[in-house]
Amino acid sequence: MALLTFGVVGPSDLVPRVVEAVETTAQLKALPLPYKGEQETVDIIRANAEEVDAWLFTGVVPHEIATAENVVDLPAEHVSYSGVTLLAALLKLLRAGADLRRVSIDTLQPNEVAETLDEAGLPAETALTMVYEPTVRSADVVEFHRTARQRDGATVAITCLRSAYDELRKEMPVVRLAPAPRDIREAVEQLVLLTRSRHHSDAQVAIGFVQLSRADNGLERDLAELGGAIVGIDEGRYLLVTTRGPLERATDDFRVAPFLEQLAERHGAVHVGLGLGRSAGEAAAHAARALARARVQGDVAAILAAPHDADIVLTKDRVTEKGPVDLGRLAQRLGMSRTTLQSLRRLVDNAEEPLVTATEVAQAFSIQERSARRLLKRLERAGAAIPVGTLSEGQMGRPPVIYRLDL
């Protein structure tokens, strides 16, 4: 089983604890990515996205920040602070003789706080809670605890944020929650399942049968986003062989068939049957069933069939004239710098066609070829790089993939 690398993002005092839990799990490696403040989360994600297979956040706050900024395009999970963590903090305070008549608690869910207070033998009205939202910042959390103390008579503040704790401890009794070992283990296990599942899904075999009114020399171009290979069966009939990952992304999670519009303009009848399976045989059987249904659906139709799923009718995605790609928005989606995308655009601007290989990108940017391949794969997932063939002439081993850049 392949080694997975988890990027562990959070405050410097929690990251080592989570890293230790990751690296005690077989087939896992951790990349420690501590920050001084939550506001550094987005920059950390962008700077290290090519080095990891998944993101593990030490708490909900950095996870929410990264998600809100659309920089997470890999499997991600955060360590949840369960009632066990809060209960341990309350019992510790009780043993120390702390005044717990009124407690202000941030980030945790009110219902979980109420259940934990009940276990500790404290009334539910003891707690004033603040639910975390993506728009909330450290200053808001600090202000919540200050107001709870000044207006509502809170005697102790309990916070999940390191930055809020550092500020509040100067002026009031405050406890900072840290995740329990069980919470960390659960997050690690969940992220392993999520990451393995995604890798497995990407590797599932996908077979497609395409039936047109006549032969079509432009079919390979129109189906390039689906990845894989296209083979002619006979006049007007073609076989597509790919995997689930590219197919899922090109069809917008199995909702649309962007190639139907172009094919319909050239053919009176277009029928496409797509099938998924654990083997080529299983996928082909589903594709044959999907093609049969596509024929009775209408003159132009695409159907997807998968194990244990109902057949899905893929709608036609009307092609519109596109303006220049917004590199700023694309950079934000991919979690990479705008400068990198601008450099890629310049790389292909003077070429007759915007075609590149990982080797050419590696040479142009003075980076390792492995990093260049990962960069092109990320662009492929966003639809900005389309594999259009392989470079076999004069090559030994696995031929390099040729990508068309849409920048």
CATH number, domain at 171? 3.40.50.300
pTM, rounded to two decimals? 0.54
Domain closes at, from 249, 282, 316: 316
The verdict on residue 322 lying in a domain is no
Do residues 122 and 156 share a domain? Answer: yes
The verdict on residue 105 lying in a domain is yes
* CB atoms inside a 10 Å sphere around CB 362: 17
Structure tokens at 47: 């700077």
Do residues 124 and 174 share a domain? Answer: yes
Q: Residue 222: pLDDT above 50?
A: yes
* CB-based contact 9:33 (threshold 8 Å): yes
Rounded to an integer, what distance in angstroms lies between the CA atom of residue 165 and that of residue 169? Answer: 6
DSSP state of 58: S
Rounded to an integer, what distance in angstroms lies between the CA atom of residue 257 and that of residue 125? Answer: 55
Do residues 92 and 61 share a domain? Answer: no
Q: What is the pLDDT of residues 371-402, one digit of tens each?
A: 788 788 778 766 788 877 666 544 455 567 88
Sheet holding 401-405, edge to edge: 355-356, 401-405, 385-390
Mean pLDDT for 350-369 is 82
Residue 9: name the closest of 171, 51, 95 by CA: 51
Rounded to an integer, what distance in angstroms lies between the CA atom of residue 401 and that of residue 246? Answer: 14
The verdict on residue 321 lying in a domain is no
Domain closes at, from 289, 316, 343: 316
17 burial level (CB within 10 Å; 0-12, 13-18, 19+): middle
DSSP state of 69: T
DSSP state of 174: E
Residue 172: name the closest of 143, 137, 199, 194 by CA: 143
Q: What is the pLDDT of residues 165-219, one digit of tens each?
A: 999 999 999 999 888 888 898 889 888 877 876 666 666 889 999 999 999 988 9
Contacts of 360 (CB under 8 A, 6+ apart): 347
Do residues 263 and 139 share a domain? Answer: no
pLDDT band, residue 331 (cuts 50/70/90): low
Q: In 3-state terms, what secondary structure has residue 37?
A: coil
The verdict on residue 55 lying in a domain is yes
The verdict on residue 68 lying in a domain is yes
Total domains in the fold of the chain: 4
Do residues 115 and 186 share a domain? Answer: no
Q: In 3-state terms, what secondary structure has residue 314?
A: strand
Q: Which residue range is the domain that position 46 belongs to?
A: 4-78+182-200
The verdict on residue 74 lying in a domain is yes
Do residues 295 and 213 share a domain? Answer: yes
Q: Residue 342: pLDDT above 90?
A: no
198 phi/psi in degrees, rounded to 5: -65, -45
Domain closes at, from 200, 235, 258: 200
Q: Residue 319: pLDDT above 50?
A: no
Q: What is the pLDDT of residue 25?
A: 85
Q: Which residue has the higher pLDDT, 82 or 305?
A: 305
Do residues 265 and 392 share a domain? Answer: no
49 burial level (CB within 10 Å; 0-12, 13-18, 19+): buried
Q: What is the pLDDT of residues 90-140, one digit of tens each?
A: 888 888 888 888 999 998 878 788 888 888 888 888 899 998 777 788 899
Contacts of 183 (CB under 8 A, 6+ apart): 79, 80, 81, 82, 84, 85
Do residues 70 and 29 share a domain? Answer: yes
Mean pLDDT for 265-273 is 92
Do residues 279 and 350 share a domain? Answer: no
Query: Which of 205-214, 223-232, 250-259, 326-335 has the weakest average pLDDT?
Result: 326-335
Q: In 3-state terms, what secondary structure has residue 317?
A: coil
Q: What is the pLDDT of residue 324?
A: 62
Q: Residue 1: pLDDT above 60?
A: no
pLDDT band, residue 148 (cuts 50/70/90): very high
* CB atoms inside a 10 Å sphere around CB 92: 11
Do residues 72 and 186 share a domain? Answer: yes
26 burial level (CB within 10 Å; 0-12, 13-18, 19+): exposed
Q: In 3-state terms, what secondary structure has residue 70?
A: coil
Do residues 30 and 159 share a domain? Answer: no
Do residues 65 and 98 share a domain? Answer: no
Residue 136: name the closest of 61, 69, 43 by CA: 61
Q: What is the pLDDT of residue 320?
A: 44
Query: What are the respective helix, strand and coil percentages of the chain, to the nearest 5?
Result: 45, 25, 30
CATH number, domain at 348? 1.10.10.10
Q: In 3-state terms, what secondary structure has residue 90?
A: helix
Chain mean pLDDT for the chain: 84
CATH number, domain at 283? 3.30.70.270
Q: Residue 250: pLDDT above 70?
A: yes
Q: What is the pLDDT of residue 318?
A: 43
